[in-house]
């Protein structure tokens, strides 16, 4: 095994050589006077990716899960009511985290494959006339089902009844790959991590914190220590860190932001859409179905695909790994055994996507799926051939 094949899991994602090189550094002193040159522009430039001018960016050693925990513990108190919908494994795990922090969690149960139901959020918010609900949570891109939700619709539901709750959004598998607008959508806590759209190794939680959320730290009673926003923000303000930062991830993040800005965020989003479209066309050519129930919900970073009746998706992903050395995402939670996932975010090109489509076709053929070799590849080829410009492929 050469380890040279790309991965098609929806995170951690493929790391471009430029970012591997950027993370491969000699130990560097985070208390040296030049650390300011790395940290300060980094925190400023991250705001452009979150699309916030008024928010503060906080990074912690950790992963997305640490970002969830930080967003909750810094801004809420045990017993606080929070409203959240469950439509996949990641929204489920965030709910579990809230419950274990002794929040009073109102769960809107949804079918997996659907997205955050703005209308049902609206009903709960309208009924909450004495404003007991302190936080409204949603997962922008549900990585288990390949569903993107309309966060702006939830913000509008909140504003329609002048509800003062804060809006918490998991954008771990969407930020830097699909459009995300922290200020415009009135997001108070936006949680992300280093290993998806930023194309880096796992190891950092990256959180956007609104002014309102920062103010909530004053009164929030949940215990926190390592993940304290105010301690981090105060240290960062003078280019310091309250403990040892993962400097190689910070130098990697610098290079990642440079790559994203050189390509242009809008072009990054357009590339993700195009690559995802090619994959969706292949899925349809195979006669298979996406978990996402309607096109408006299709994620441009991950596709979850039901295998035909009588087949086990875990057998398929194991076979692809064992025979072709290629990883695809397994079905999670309710999807276990029923669906596999193709991650197509971060460092991804048409050529890489075609290799993934071809590899999973071979694996399906080996296992006697009713799929014709080349059927998915050819429709994706046709689509990419017509939609790729030379400039786009160079930038990716």
Ligand X SMILES: *Cc1c(COP(=O)(O)O)cnc(C)c1O
Catalog residues that contact ligand X under the rule CB under 6 A: 11, 63-65, 90, 139, 141, 143, 170, 172-173, 193
CA–CA separation, 314 vs 332, rounded Å? 10
Contact 85, 91 (CB under 8 A): yes
In the bound state with ligand X, the residue whose beta carbon lies nearer, of 188 and 350, is: 188
Please report how many Cα atoms fall inside a 13 Å half-sphere around the Cα of residue 81, on the Cβ side.
11
CB 151, min distance to ligand X, A: 13
CB 167, min distance to ligand X, A: 16
Q: Which two tokens stand for residue 70?
A: 């930080």
Provide the 3-class DSSP secondary structure of residue 51.
Answer: coil
Sign of CA dihedral 375, 377, 378, 384: positive
CB 265, min distance to ligand X, A: 20
Spatial CA neighbour of 168 closest among 221, 210, 218, 200: 210
CA–CA separation, 265 vs 271, rounded Å? 10
In the bound state with ligand X, the residue whose beta carbon lies nearer, of 137 and 380, is: 137
In this structure, what DSSP letter does residue 133 have?
E
CB 269, min distance to ligand X, A: 17
Q: What's the longest Cα–Cα distance across the chain? A: 63
CA–CA separation, 274 vs 387, rounded Å? 8
In the bound state with ligand X, the residue whose beta carbon lies nearer, of 235 and 336, is: 336
CA–CA separation, 163 vs 125, rounded Å? 7
Per the listing, tokens 């309607």 go with: 294
In the bound state with ligand X, the residue whose beta carbon lies nearer, of 168 and 241, is: 168
CA–CA separation, 151 vs 138, rounded Å? 8
CB 174, min distance to ligand X, A: 8
CB 294, min distance to ligand X, A: 20
Contact 52, 182 (CB under 8 A): yes
In the bound state with ligand X, the residue whose beta carbon lies nearer, of 5 and 65, is: 65
CA–CA separation, 191 vs 97, rounded Å? 14
In the bound state with ligand X, the residue whose beta carbon lies nearer, of 13 and 313, is: 13
Q: Which two tokens stand for residue 216?
A: 């909530």
Please report how many Cα atoms fall inside a 13 Å half-sphere around the Cα of residue 185, on the Cβ side.
24
In this structure, what DSSP letter does residue 83 have?
E
CB 173, min distance to ligand X, A: 3
In the bound state with ligand X, the residue whose beta carbon lies nearer, of 99 and 393, is: 99
In the bound state with ligand X, the residue whose beta carbon lies nearer, of 13 and 388, is: 13
- Looking at beta carbons, which residue is closest to ligand X? 64
CB 141, min distance to ligand X, A: 6
Task: With residue 56 as reference, give the H or E element that holds it.
Answer: strand 56-61
CB 394, min distance to ligand X, A: 29
In the bound state with ligand X, the residue whose beta carbon lies nearer, of 55 and 193, is: 193
CA–CA separation, 342 vs 350, rounded Å? 14
């Amino acid at each position: 095994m050469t380890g040279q094949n790309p991965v098609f899991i929806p995170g951690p994602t493929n790391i471009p050589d430029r970012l591997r090189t950027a993370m491969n550094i000699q130990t560097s002193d985070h208390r040296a006077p030049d650390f300011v040159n790395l940290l300060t522009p980094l925190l400023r430039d991250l705001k452009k990716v979150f699309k916030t001018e008024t928010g503060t960016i906080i990074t912690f050693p950790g992963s997305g899960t640490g970002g969830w925990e930080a967003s909750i513990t810094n801004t809420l108190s045990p017993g606080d009511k929070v409203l959240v919908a469950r439509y996949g494994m990641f929204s489920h795990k965030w709910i579990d985290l809230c419950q274990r922090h002794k929040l009073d969690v109102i769960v809107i149960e949804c079918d997996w494959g659907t997205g955050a139901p703005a209308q049902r959020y609206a009903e709960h918010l309208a009924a909450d006339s004495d404003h007991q609900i302190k936080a409204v949570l949603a997962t922008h891109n549900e990585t288990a089902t390949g569903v993107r939700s309309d966060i702006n619709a939830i913000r509008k539901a909140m504003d329609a009844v002048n509800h003062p709750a804060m809006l918490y959004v998991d954008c771990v598998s969407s930020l830097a790959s699909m459009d995300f607008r922290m200020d415009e959508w009135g997001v108070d806590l936006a949680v992300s991590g280093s290993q998806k759209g930023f194309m880096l190794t796992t190891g950092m939680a990256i959180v956007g914190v609104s002014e309102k959320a920062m103010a909530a730290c004053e009164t929030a009673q949940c215990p926190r220590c390592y993940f304290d926003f105010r301690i981090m923000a105060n240290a960062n303000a003078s280019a310091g860190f309250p403990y040892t930062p993962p400097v190689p991830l910070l130098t990697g993040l610098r290079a990642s932001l440079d790559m994203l800005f050189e390509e242009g965020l809008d072009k990054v989003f357009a590339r993700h859409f195009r690559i995802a479209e090619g994959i969706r066309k292949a899925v349809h050519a195979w006669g298979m179905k996406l978990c996402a129930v309607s096109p408006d919900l299709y994620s441009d970073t991950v596709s979850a695909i039901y295998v035909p009746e009588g087949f086990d998706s875990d057998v398929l992903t194991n076979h692809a790994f064992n025979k072709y050395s290629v990883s695809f995402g397994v079905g999670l939670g309710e999807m276990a055994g029923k669906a596999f996932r193709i991650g197509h975010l971060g460092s991804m090109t048409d050529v890489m996507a075609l290799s993934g489509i071809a590899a999973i076709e071979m694996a399906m053929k080996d296992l006697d799926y009713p799929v014709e070799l080349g059927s998915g590849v050819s429709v994706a080829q046709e689509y990419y051939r017509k939609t790729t410009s030379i400039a786009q492929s160079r930038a990716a």
